[in-house]
Structure 1
Amino acid sequence: MIMINNLYLNLLLVLIVSVTYCSCNLPVSSSCPQNEALVRPCRCEYGIIICHDQTGVRIKEMFAHLSNQLEYINRHIHMVQISGIAITQLPDNVFSDITVNEIVIRDAPKLRTISDTAFKGTKLFTKRLVIHNCPQLQVDTLWTLINKLREVSSMKLCELENLREIPTLAFKELNKLRQLLICGPSVRTLHEKAFFKLTSLARLDIVNTGLTRLHDNSFVFEHPSRHMLTIGLFDNRQLTAEGLSAHTFAHMGRPVSLDFSGYNFESVHYRRQMPVIHEHVFRPFFKAHELNDINLYGQEFECQNCKNVWLKKEVSLHEKLLGLRCIIQSRQLMDVLNFKSCQ
């Protein structure tokens, strides 16, 4: 009986130590420090540290000092925003051991390098990353950097002039990523299996790029899923149905909504992303899953183009063509005046 009691006591001790250890390693505070001077020359508002026109070295020094002044439980910030012309590089472990829920780096025209260990202290805590409008940023180590953020669920990579291609397995370690936005005319190549490991992905937007074609395996995934994936392809003025094949959207292994409308993006003005829905490309897409659909809200659909007449005949597909309106007088697809010259 004594041996059994000792065994239970040992197990209980292990459990207490484990719980204590876990709670000690999870900072819970995300408010601004009470002493505002601790974040100078940056400033903090509503849990957001804003560093505008500060050098990377100065930002690192500030976070190191902040860490030394805060109790461990308070070393967590909701968001860090970095911007301005003074920032040219972000060094190693720039946030010290301050964990950051959201990192936003934008409008930094002279930012050239981000160390691939810049986010070392927060890599297991950061949930959102934005890198936007950094025209000089070198992207050689970008993929190494972002793949260390294993907990990230939302990411935006936009207006990076040196980002010309999305490589195979670009996001290979980010199996918790749910929302991804890639935009900017410099992006001209999307390699096969670029998103292959993104098994949790719910929304993928590829916007305002220089893409002219998509590979057969651009949108294939390692594991099948029952959850709907929305793929937004809009404002890509050089991408037409001629740059797609029968396999482009046919092997995704999950229900998919193709969004050509940009309906949720206020800045989208291009309304001719997919005026022709080619049968050889999109019939395989509709066959791939019964829930697949296409969002065409606001698009200028060509109801006189005979390449679209197959859709009028396929009545079962009409409910899968969301928001379809003809460019001429906003007619419905079944209007008797449509496709009159087609055999």
Structure 2
Amino acid sequence: MAKQQKQQFLITIALVAILCMCQQSWCQEQHVEPHHGTGSHVKRHPHKVHYTVCPDEAILKPCLCRRSIITCDEEMDFKLAAIVDAISAMANNDSTVSVKLFARLDIAFSTETDLPDNAFKEIVADGIWIMAAPNLKTIAPNAFQGTDNLTRSLDLRNCPQLDTAGLFDIINKFVQLNRLSLMNINLETIPGQAFKSLDRLIGLHIADAKLKSIGDKAFVGLPALRQLNLMDTQLSLIGKDMLAFSLNYDQKMNVLLKNNPLLNGSTFDPEALVQLGRPTLLALIAVDHNPRQFKVLAEQVFKPFLMSNAGNQLIMSSNGYLCPDKRNEWLVKDRKLNRRLFYDQPYKHTVQC
């Protein structure tokens, strides 16, 4: 019993980590240490990054800067080009640091309709968060030129009119990226093999009510990926190669499927979960108004998943449950497999039918 409780505790911690990544901050700590101009380069360190100090308030008005995080929101009535020009001029006039690396740019604008090439000029940021742009329609192919080879966190959200046709070509230029969030950006499809050359990407969060399809092997080009969240979509099928990842049996993978109302325990291709390439923790989180969304787990889908790798596990939310149905007996009666199904509440590690 103690062993089972310990295992459930570890599973619960894992799920908390998964859900934590769904929040706006991704629980990402910013180790901000302003640079005081004593050297000629911005230093990178795996645990501590030296960021440039904030510009004078007069340069940024009406935007703000705190701890090297520049914030411009839609209520400030700002022009992005004007702010960028002012900061770029400051950078050109300061020879103490060759690169001005800010901790983050938090931008929300109501009037901008496009981001042109080289939109950020001399500004380089560890994180770029475009949090709301209701009228943004286009992002030029080289809009992030100059920062895209250094930025590690990119967040695009609440851009309901955005043309996403060339979006992944833009994203693939962020070669240092380790976290990416795409939320409510008019994303209807993710093409096959969408992600390339993002060898450092660890966490990928996608939530878009317009998303209906994901092409084959869209994520296979992400060798470091450890967390994939697919939320609030209109996906109606998990295809055979949709969740194929690069082979790495030593790296644990977390996949969160949450609030996808058209999915259920039978909307998976029979081979969808046997080609993951890694030991995988799969979380099936039902929508709040439909606790029976995953009431039946198709044997031809989930039994091969659990048997294909000893590290594969299932988590179901406490607001959803399996029904007393003969179609679930394969899991209820097999104690070894049953022990690898968990709920997101402590010590509910057996199927209660």
- Work out whether the TM-score is over 0.5: yes
Q: How does 1:284-323 map to 2 (within 5 A)?
A: 284-323=304-343
- Structure 2 equivalent of residue 14 of structure 1: none
Cα 1:128–1:276 change in 2 (3 A) is same
- Structure 1 equivalent of residue 36 of structure 2: none
Is 1:52 the equivalent of 2:73?
yes
Is 1:204 the equivalent of 2:228?
yes
1:229 positional shift: 0.3
CA distance in 2, matches of 1:293, 1:248: 15
CA distance in 1, matches of 2:80, 2:194: 26
Q: 1:194 aligns with which of 198, 218, 222?
A: 218
Cα 1:205–1:331 change in 2 (3 A) is closer
Cα 1:114–1:60 change in 2 (3 A) is farther
Deviates more, 1:26-35 or 1:106-115: 26-35
Q: 1:136 aligns with which of 146, 155, 161?
A: 161
Q: Give the secondary-structure state (helix, strand or coil) at the position aligned to 1:30.
A: strand
Query: What is the number of residues matched between the two proteins?
Result: 304
CA distance in 2, matches of 1:295, 1:160: 28
Which has more helix, going by share of residues? 1
1:102 positional shift: 0.4
1:316 positional shift: 0.5
Deviates more, 1:150-159 or 1:314-323: 314-323
Q: 1:241 aligns with which of 265, 277, 284?
A: 265
1:113 positional shift: 1.5
1:36 positional shift: 2.0
Question: Does the 8 Å CA contact 2:338/2:350 hold for their aligned counterparts?
Answer: no
1:74 positional shift: 6.2
Q: Give the secondary-structure state (helix, strand or coil) at the position aligned to 1:61.
A: helix
Q: Give the secondary-structure state (helix, strand or coil) at the position aligned to 2:302.
A: helix
1:46 positional shift: 1.9
Is 1:91 the equivalent of 2:93?
no
Question: Does the 8 Å CA contact 1:241/1:274 hold for their aligned counterparts?
Answer: yes
CA distance in 1, matches of 2:52, 2:276: 42
Q: What is the aligned-residue RMSD (CA, Å)?
A: 2.4
- Structure 2 equivalent of residue 214 of structure 1: 238
1:277 positional shift: 1.1
Q: How does 1:68-83 map to 2 (within 5 A)?
A: 68-71=92-95, 72-73=97-98, 75-83=100-108
1:300 positional shift: 2.1
Is 1:282 the equivalent of 2:302?
yes
Is 1:117 the equivalent of 2:142?
yes
Question: Does the 8 Å CA contact 1:303/1:333 hold for their aligned counterparts?
Answer: no
CA distance in 2, matches of 1:121, 1:200: 24
Question: Does the 8 Å CA contact 1:181/1:205 hold for their aligned counterparts?
Answer: yes
1:63-88 CA-partner distances (Å, limit 9, x unpaired): 32232233325611000011031222
Q: Give the secondary-structure state (helix, strand or coil) at the position aligned to 2:156.
A: strand
Question: Does the 8 Å CA contact 2:339/2:349 hold for their aligned counterparts?
Answer: no
Cα 1:251–1:26 change in 2 (3 A) is same
1:93 positional shift: 1.7
Q: Give the secondary-structure state (helix, strand or coil) at the position aligned to 2:84.
A: helix
1:273 positional shift: 4.2
- Structure 1 equivalent of residue 185 of structure 2: 160
1:106-133 CA-partner distances (Å, limit 9, x unpaired): 1211111222211111122101000011
Deviates more, 1:276-285 or 1:239-248: 239-248
CA distance in 1, matches of 2:135, 2:292: 35
Deviates more, 1:187-196 or 1:51-60: 51-60
Q: Which amino acid aligns with 1:323?
A: Y
Q: How does 1:263-278 map to 2 (within 5 A)?
A: 271-278=291-298
Question: Does the 8 Å CA contact 1:30/1:74 hold for their aligned counterparts?
Answer: no
Question: Does the 8 Å CA contact 2:62/2:72 hold for their aligned counterparts?
Answer: yes
Question: Does the 8 Å CA contact 2:104/2:127 hold for their aligned counterparts?
Answer: yes
CA distance in 1, matches of 2:195, 2:69: 27
- Structure 1 equivalent of residue 3 of structure 2: none
Question: Does the 8 Å CA contact 1:29/1:74 hold for their aligned counterparts?
Answer: no
Question: Does the 8 Å CA contact 1:38/1:65 hold for their aligned counterparts?
Answer: no
Cα 1:78–1:276 change in 2 (3 A) is same
Runs of 4+ in 1 over 6 A off after TM superposition: none
Identity %: 28
Q: Give the secondary-structure state (helix, strand or coil) at the position aligned to 2:336.
A: helix
Q: How does 1:11-26 map to 2 (within 5 A)?
A: 24-26=40-42
Question: Does the 8 Å CA contact 1:57/1:90 hold for their aligned counterparts?
Answer: no
Per the normalisation by structure 2, the TM-score is 0.80
CA distance in 1, matches of 2:349, 2:220: 39
Unaligned segments of structure 1, at least 5 residues: 1-22, 339-343
Cα 1:249–1:322 change in 2 (3 A) is same
Question: Does the 8 Å CA contact 2:101/2:124 hold for their aligned counterparts?
Answer: yes
Unaligned segments of structure 2, at least 5 residues: 1-38, 44-48
Question: Does the 8 Å CA contact 1:279/1:307 hold for their aligned counterparts?
Answer: yes
Cα 1:109–1:316 change in 2 (3 A) is same
Per the normalisation by structure 1, the TM-score is 0.82
- Structure 1 equivalent of residue 4 of structure 2: none
1:31 positional shift: 4.4
Q: Which amino acid aligns with 1:246?
A: P
1:222 positional shift: 3.3
CA distance in 2, matches of 1:86, 1:220: 40
Q: Which amino acid aligns with 2:224?
A: S
Q: Give the secondary-structure state (helix, strand or coil) at the position aligned to 2:239.
A: coil
